[in-house]
Structure 1
Amino acid sequence: MWTCPSCERSFKRKNQPHSCIAVHSVDDYIDQFPETGQARLQELRTLIRQAAPNAMEKISWNMPTYVQNGNIVHFAMQQKHIGLHVGVAAVKAFEDELANFNYAKGTIHLPHAQPLPKELIQKIVHFNIDLKLNQ
């Protein structure tokens, strides 16, 4: 185990890349990025909130998380993309529509160089809400 001397979080690998900034709200999370990143994250946040108006918004695993009868979606800013964490079932269900994106193990990479696939994101959020309701 390795403990980061700045944030005191423990990791399995030495010098594990991570964000030492402790965020307590989605606003805090978004505010830590440059303006262009903030705009993109706010756009994604709005899409998720429109698709899941009854979902609770919180920070979990140091990233924005939306919960309605369980976790429905998380997102995290990366250097070249936003990781949209939707779960294995959602990725499998929308595999054909995700042909133009990199994805693996329940996470879709939304490249910064491409517009957000608004309709697809909202369909995936609705899928996850229905999935949680039927579990």
Structure 2
Amino acid sequence: MAKTDYKTIDEYQSVFPAELQERMQAIREIVHKVAPEAEEVISYQIPCFKYKGYLIYYSAYAKHISLSHPFSEALLEKFSKELKKYKVSKSAIQLPNNEPLPVDFIERLIAFRKKENEDTFKAKK
């Protein structure tokens, strides 16, 4: 993929094959369902959602879609059993493109991140 200067999530998604666009759009819709207040931005040239701070990023690749953010130890521990089936680092979870998108898992992960951001926001006040 050629380097470009994406300004919107639509621009980012449009350069991918239809199947990947559908998977990314599904993630986008999940974020808006769980965190309707979330703002869409492009950060590091990938889609990002902000809600009381950075909520979650996603990016697409030939074999997977990554959900990313510097994940907390609490998040990694809470979802440890489910994460065993994915390639995971401290900041990314790779969801293979040859498997159904784990919608329920993504919803719960976003809800957890949303609560983390809310708690951090409250603590700063």
- Which TM bucket (shorter chain)? 0.7 to 0.9
What's the TM-score, normalizing by structure 2? 0.88
Structure with bigger gyration radius? 1
Shift of 1:19: 4.7
The aligned residue for residue 36 of structure 1 is: 19
The aligned residue for residue 123 of structure 2 is: none
Alignment of 1:1-135 (within 5 A): 19-89=2-72, 90-135=75-120
Secondary structure of 1:88 counterpart: coil
Distance between the aligned counterparts of 1:124 and 1:86, measured in 2?
A: 11
Q: Give the RMSD, CA atoms, in angstroms.
A: 1.4
The aligned residue for residue 4 of structure 1 is: none
Which deviates more, 27-36 or 93-102? 93-102
Alpha-carbon displacement from aligned partner over 1:102-133 (angstroms, at most 9, x marks no partner): 11112100100011111111111111111111
Distance between the aligned counterparts of 2:47 and 2:60, measured in 1?
A: 10
The aligned residue for residue 3 of structure 1 is: none
**What are structure 1's unaligned runs of at least 5 residues?**
1-17
With a CA cutoff of 8 Å and minimum separation of 6, indicate the structure with the bigger relative contact order.
2
What's the TM-score, normalizing by structure 1? 0.82
Give percent identity, aligned residues only: 27
